[in-house]
Structure 1
Amino acid sequence: MKIAFCTTDGTLIDEHFGRCEQMAIYDITPAGYHFEEMRSMEVIDPSGPHGSHIESKASSIADCAIVYMTEIGGPAAAVVVRNRIHPVKVPKPQPIEEVLESLQHTLQNSPPPWLKKIMHS
């Protein structure tokens, strides 16, 4: 399954979903993971109407099952979920590799029900 990470430098999950200019896309299985691509994203202007921009950003990662970020607003999270992508907020910037290793370990052992559902869809 593909995972998207909101990042400023390609190594850390360190960006807000709306402000994110790029997302690192990885493919992960219980056996391993690998980098797929860096996708450019449209930046959402917080002072303007941004419903269609959020929809566009979510659509651009529609092939991903999960998206990690440092922050996401309620309306944006609803759009992401409606696009069948599971949003995950990290409490502080974290290395993408650490999250991938932890997620791979979870996939190998006992994934929670929400993750099992994603894996089998």
Structure 2
Amino acid sequence: MKIAFASGDGKRIDAHFGQCRYFSIFELNGDKYRWLESRTIRVESDSDEHENRVARRAEAIGDCTLLFVSSIGNDAVRRLRKEGIMILRAEPESEVIPQMEGLLKLLRERPPLWLLKAVRRAGERSG
């Protein structure tokens, strides 16, 4: 399962979805995870429409199942949910690695229904 983090530095969840310029992408597979890549979003001009900014970001993480953000607007939430991406809000400046460790712990111990659904959805996407 691929997981995206709206991050400016790849280490912290420190960016609003609509303004972030990078997504740090990780893969969670069984009982381990690994960093895959950083995806850069083209910088828009001030006149670029909100809908275009959301669409570009949604396309950049379209193969991901989960998205961690510090904040996100309602339009983006609707768009991402429609595309099957589950959104998790994290405290601003939260570190990425502890979030990944937390997901692993949840999967090992007693995964909540939302996480089981995400794992199933990821399997459907790849299979």
TM-score by length of 1: 0.91
Stretches of 4+ aligned residues off by more than 4 angstroms: 43-48
Q: Unaligned stretches of 5+ in structure 1?
A: none
Q: Name the SS for the 2:77 alignment partner.
A: helix
C-alpha distance in structure 2 between counterparts of 1:113 and 1:44, whole Å: 37
Aligned CA RMSD, in angstroms, stands at 1.7
Sequence identity of aligned pairs in percent?
30
Q: Unaligned stretches of 5+ in structure 2?
A: 122-127
C-alpha distance in structure 2 between counterparts of 1:76 and 1:46, whole Å: 18
Shift in CA distance, 67/75, structure 1 to aligned 2, threshold 3 Å? same
2:93 aligned partner: 93
Q: CA deviation at 1:83?
A: 1.0
Give per-residue Cα distances to partners, 1:26-78, cap 9 Å, x unaligned. 00134110000000114566875321331221121111000111110111111
1:33 aligned partner: 33
Q: CA deviation at 1:17?
A: 0.4
Q: Name the SS for the 1:64 alignment partner.
A: coil
Q: Is the CA contact (8 Å cut-off) linking 2:41 and 2:56 kept in structure 1? A: no
**Count of aligned pairs:** 121
1:109 aligned partner: 109
